[in-house]
Amino acid sequence: MSQLNPEQFIAVHHTEGPLLVLAGAGSGKTQVITSRIVHLLGTLKVPADQILAVTFTNKAAKEMQERVKRAAGAKSEGMLISTFHSLGVRILRRDIRRLGYKPNFTIYSDSDQSGVVRQALSDLNIDTKQFQPDMVRWQISMAKNRLIAPDQYPKLSTNPLEQVTAAVYPRYQHLLRAYNAIDFDDIIMLTVRMLEELPEVRQHWQDRFRYIMVDEYQDTNAGQYKLISLLAQGHGNLCVVGDDDQAIYGWRGADIANILNFSAERSSCKVVKLEQNYRSTGTILNAANTVIRNNSKRSDKALWTASGTGELISLLVADTDDEEARQVVEQLQLAQYRDKRPWRDFAILYRSNAQSRAFEEALRMEEVPYVLVGGQKFFERKEVKDSLSYLAVLANPRDEAALVRTINFPRRGIGGTSLLRLQQWSLEHNLSLYDTLGMADQIEGLSEATRKAVNGFHTMIRQELADFTSNNMASQATALFKRLGINQELYRTIDNPLQARKRIENIEQVINALAGFEERNPTAGLADFLERIALLEDNRRETDNDQPQDAVTLMSLHASKGLEFPQVFLVGLEEGLLPHHRSIDEDPEVAEERRLCYVGITRARERLTISRCLKRRKYGTWEERQPSRFLAEIPPELFEGGDTEHKEAEPVDMGMDFFARMQNM
């Protein structure tokens, strides 16, 4: 408690009733949440199982849990620190039978959902070229985030895509139910439905969680807001922590009104503002404050620091985007050499992922190590999903998406036309696809070779289901993949043997992940492992930022939230990039884009460099660029040279090599 400042101390000790903690960037909000939990456990003797803390990523939940455990020890046993989706799954597993599902439901990933949407479009004779499954899936997801059920959606349909979605949404939901599957949005939506419709279930969880804390509350959508409101309805001991100035996920359903209206909706709400920043210099904070102040709908607060003014902000103005990249890399190298810093101290942040190309080329040319955050995640790779699909079939043979993925991998001669006939027959006879596979001899339109292949696949799966146990699952999976000949299939179908080997190594990592899971959870089963993978995959805002190598970080502004670096290069501050042209069209006040700029500025601890171009190529032709309006919102005296608008591009002397430049410093 002695480490807390006065505002943090108040937030920690206000435990009864609603509490809104407006925590500015770098103001120690995690310290407040963990200290508050320790205070509840230690001083107030609250039983651990009555405390619930909710955040958005597994990484954040794990870090918070470890900090509480270090401070509270055994007293923290039984406390739940969870993501929204993990909390929803916990509630659903207990009572989802009452909504007509079985407790061993499967959670479908994005690609699985797209497959079901594609099937629904086909069932309704809708052209998938005109209405792409991913577009329809996104519409359904946004509807579920707003708690709009299939029977409510048609009332809101105003354009062709929404009209198609209105037709597909009920069919999609019917197919999910038939497969005993739910998607990620269902986790929240069905949990809310259960708590609303079943008073005894709601009472159980309200009695269970008497003290609730929510982190990053500005990022909650309508479903998450409703879920937390229902759980806290009985006792009212709800503490939410967040920063409306860092609300940057409106495009995926987050509603900033949830945090802005929190205190107004609760008459006895206590509001605490955390404005002392422990991360950045005074100059950086002044720049962030003056930018964000131009947003009209926000809580009134301003960051400050006791750590001093620090260095002025550097501004690089380049002729082209390639020159911008060269200047940034040059300045980065000079700073690294001068200050003897590791490469990991530097980050290049941009609005659009397409901007990374020039910086990657410049870094490679100078042989500067870098890591690009936001590439394809491990569990989204094809060979990984193929191997996980076999495990999913063993956990739930009614998982149609997994069956479809495995039925012709490795190749067995079961083509797309035959598979479609099998699916149609299963629908006509109200059977699962797995049961249909065992009746291939009764299905017209299949060749003799296809019937033989289908029967062989069904027999193989039936035998595996009979033999597979929850003991030594990793070794059983290894034996299964060997019997399937997956390695040989990859070598046969991929021309480059090195690429084939990389994919085989990825499958080996699936086995390693399963073995590690078994070791940590000796009583768990295959479904538990797959659930864990599914929940990890859902962390769309979470990136693996704990890079072991010493490298410069390249990442989008959206991906940078929650991170900090000693030196940040905020690049491409031009109209059309930041703020982005799509956002300008949708919101002339560009409030969320301004918050995104604020997030970028406050990632810097010691030194901030901003860059822009005078022109960029667009579809092969040069386009003149105007400086971002956000540059004009930063006082000139915060910049080296003091001129943000009329500064001309400074040529880079590429004739002098890097080491010569350093010697002339």
DSSP string of 394-424, one letter each residue: HH-TT-HHHHHHHTTSS--S--HHHHHHHHH
3-state secondary structure 227-238: HHHHHHCCCCCE
* Lowest mean pLDDT, pick from 264-268, 288-292, 336-340, 373-377: 373-377
Instruction: With respect to residue 654, please indicate whether it lies within any of the assigned structural domains.
Output: no
Given 482, 503, 538, which residue is the final one in a domain?
A: 538
Instruction: Classify residue 628: in a domain, yes or no.
Output: yes
Catalytic residue, candidates 8, 55, 139, 246: 246
pLDDT at 384: 85
- Pull the structure tokens for residue 313: 């902000």
Question: What DSSP state is assigned to residue 162?
Answer: H
Q: Count Cβ atoms below 10 Å from residue 646 Cβ, excluding itself.
A: 7
Domain match, 328 and 454 both:
no
Whether residue 299 is annotated as binding a ligand: the answer is: no
Report whether pLDDT(63) > 80: yes
130 part of the active site: no
pLDDT of residue 131: 85
Q: Give the CA diameter of the chain.
A: 84
The mean pLDDT of 611-640, rounded to a whole number, is 87
pLDDT of residue 558: 92
- The boundaries of the domain holding residue 130 are 106-179
CATH of the domain at 151: 1.10.10
132: exposed, middle or buried (C-beta count within 10 Å: 0-12, 13-18, 19+)?
middle
The more confident residue out of 1 and 23 is 23
In a domain? residue 280:
no
Residue pair 564/603 in contact (Cβ under 8 Å)? The answer is yes
Q: Which of 7, 29, 137, 220 is catalytic?
A: 29
Tokens for 30, please give them: 């995690």
> What's CA 158's distance to the chain center, in Å?
29
- When mean pLDDT is compared over 330-339, 348-357, 399-408, 498-507, the highest value belongs to 330-339
Q: Does residue 57 form part of some domain?
A: yes
In this structure, how many other beta carbons lie within 10 angstroms of the beta carbon of residue 503?
A: 21
Mean pLDDT of 584-611: 93
Predicted pLDDT at 536? 61
Residue 361 CA to residue 343 CA, distance in Å, equals 17
- Determine which one of 186, 215, 593, 606 is catalytic: 215
Question: What count of Cα atoms within 13 Å lies in the side-chain half-sphere of residue 391?
Answer: 29
Kindly state whether residues 30 and 124 are assigned to the same domain: no
pLDDT band at 497 (very low <50, low <70, confident <90, very high): low
Q: Number of C-alpha atoms within 13 angstroms, CB side, residue 301?
A: 23
Answer yes or no: do 417 and 528 share one domain: yes
pLDDT of residue 545 exceeding 60, the answer is no
Is 29 annotated in a binding site? The answer is yes
The answer to whether 88 is a known ligand-binding residue is no
What DSSP designation does 554 have? E
Can you tell me the distance from the alpha carbon of 393 to that of 477, in angstroms, rounded to the nearest whole number? 12
Q: Is residue 597 situated within a structural domain?
A: yes
Q: Is 603 annotated as catalytic?
A: yes
pLDDT of residue 643: 59
pLDDT score for 378 = 64
Annotated catalytic residue: which of 67, 75, 351, 603?
603
pLDDT-based confidence at residue 446 (cuts at 50, 70, 90): confident
DSSP state for residue 649 in the 8-state scheme = P
Peptide bond into 410 cis (omega under 30): yes
- Per the structure block, which two tokens stand in for 7? 């505002």
* DSSP sequence for 274-295: E-B-SSS-HHHHHHHHHHHTT-
CA atoms within 13 A on the CB side of 222: 12
Q: What six digits make up the tokens of 364?
A: 């490679």
CB of 366 closer than 8 Å to CB of 329: yes
The predicted pLDDT at position 654 comes to 36
77 C-beta neighbours (distance < 10 Å), count: 11
Give burial (CB, 10 Å; 0-12/13-18/19+) of 661: middle
Q: What are phi and psi of 596, to 5 degrees?
A: -65, -40
Number of alpha helices (DSSP H) and beta strands (DSSP E) in the chain:
28, 16
Q: Is 155 an annotated catalytic residue?
A: no
Amino acid at 29: K
**Predicted confidence (pLDDT) at residue 317 exceeds the cutoff of 90:** yes
Of 30, 276, 290, 478, which is the active-site residue? 30
Mean pLDDT of the chain: 87
CA torsion, ordered 600, 604, 609, 611, to nearest 10 deg? -10
Say if residue 665's pLDDT is above 60: no
Quick one: tokens of 567? 């030196």
**At 19, which helix (H) or strand (E)?**
strand 19-23
Q: Does 30 belong to an annotated binding site? A: yes
**Distance between terminal CA atoms of the chain?**
47
How wide is the angle at C-alpha 191 spanned by C-alphas 81 and 179, nearest 5°? 115
- Residue 299 carries which side chain, given as an amino acid letter? S
561 an active-site residue?
no
Q: DSSP state, 216?
A: S
Tokens, residue 559: 């991906």
On whether both 347 and 216 belong to a single domain, the answer is no
Any known ligand binding at 310? no
- What per-residue confidence (pLDDT) applies to 261? 95
**Concatenated DSSP letters of 60-97:** HHHHHHHHHHHHHGGGGTT-EEEEHHHHHHHHHHHHGG
CA atoms within 13 A on the CB side of 638: 23
Q: CA-CA distance, 389 to 400, in Å (whole number)? A: 10
Q: Residues 481, 622: one domain? A: no
Q: Worst-scoring range by mean pLDDT, 277-291, 368-382, 512-526?
A: 368-382
CA dist 199 and 206 (Å) reads 10
Does a structural domain hold residue 298? Answer: no
Q: For residue 78, say whether it is annotated as part of any ligand binding site.
A: no
Sign of CA dihedral 426, 431, 435, 441: negative
What's the pTM?
0.78
User: 408 and 529 share a domain?
Assistant: yes
Kindly state the percentage of the chain with pLDDT values over 70.
92
Contact assessment for residue 24 and residue 274, using Cβ atoms and an 8 Å cutoff: yes
Residue 653: predicted pLDDT? 42
End residue of a domain, out of 150, 179, 208: 179
Q: How far apart are CA 76 and CA 203, in angstroms?
A: 24
Q: Which of 303, 331, 308, 337 is nearest to 318 (CA)?
A: 331
Is 23 annotated in some ligand binding site?
yes
* DSSP code string of 574-636: BTBBTTBHHHHHH-TT-HHHHHHHHHHHTTEEEEEEEEEESEEEETTEEEE--B-HHHHTS-G
Does residue 216 have an active-site annotation? yes
Please indicate if the annotation marks 524 as binding a ligand: no
Tokens 């990592």 belong to residue:
509
Indicate if 619 and 558 belong to the same structural domain: yes
Q: According to the model, what pLDDT value does residue 59 have? A: 87
Bridge-based pairing of strands 565-570 and 552-556 is: unpaired
- On whether both 169 and 209 belong to a single domain, the answer is no
Please tell me whether residues 604 and 634 are part of one structural domain: yes
- Whether 80 and 136 share a structural domain: no
- Give me the number of domains the chain comprises: 4
Asked whether residue 415 falls in the same domain as residue 522, the answer is yes
Among 274, 295, 328, where does a domain finish? Answer: 274
pLDDT in tens, 261-297: 999 999 889 999 999 999 999 999 999 999 999 999 9
Residues 6+ apart with CB under 8 A from 650: 316, 317, 318, 327
The verdict on whether 385 is a catalytic residue reads: no
Distance CA 533, CA 512 (A): 13
Residue 101 included in any domain: no
CATH of the domain at 596: 3.40.50.300
Which range among 79-83, 305-309, 373-377, 470-474 shows the weakest confidence by mean pLDDT?
373-377
Contacting residues for 21 by C-beta, under 8 A, at least 6 apart: 11, 29, 32, 239, 240, 241, 242, 272, 274
Residue identified by tokens 């040989």 is: 488
Phi/psi of residue 362, nearest 5 degrees: -65, -40
Same domain for 269 and 241 = yes
Block residue for tokens 């941009």:
350
One-letter amino acid for residue 625 of the chain? R
Average pLDDT for residues 92-107, to the nearest whole number?
Answer: 89
Predicted confidence (pLDDT) at residue 60 exceeds the cutoff of 60: yes
* Catalytic position from the list 183, 216, 399, 593: 216
Is 578 domain-assigned?
yes
pLDDT range class, residue 502, cuts 50, 70, 90 = confident
- Region 475-487: mean pLDDT is 90
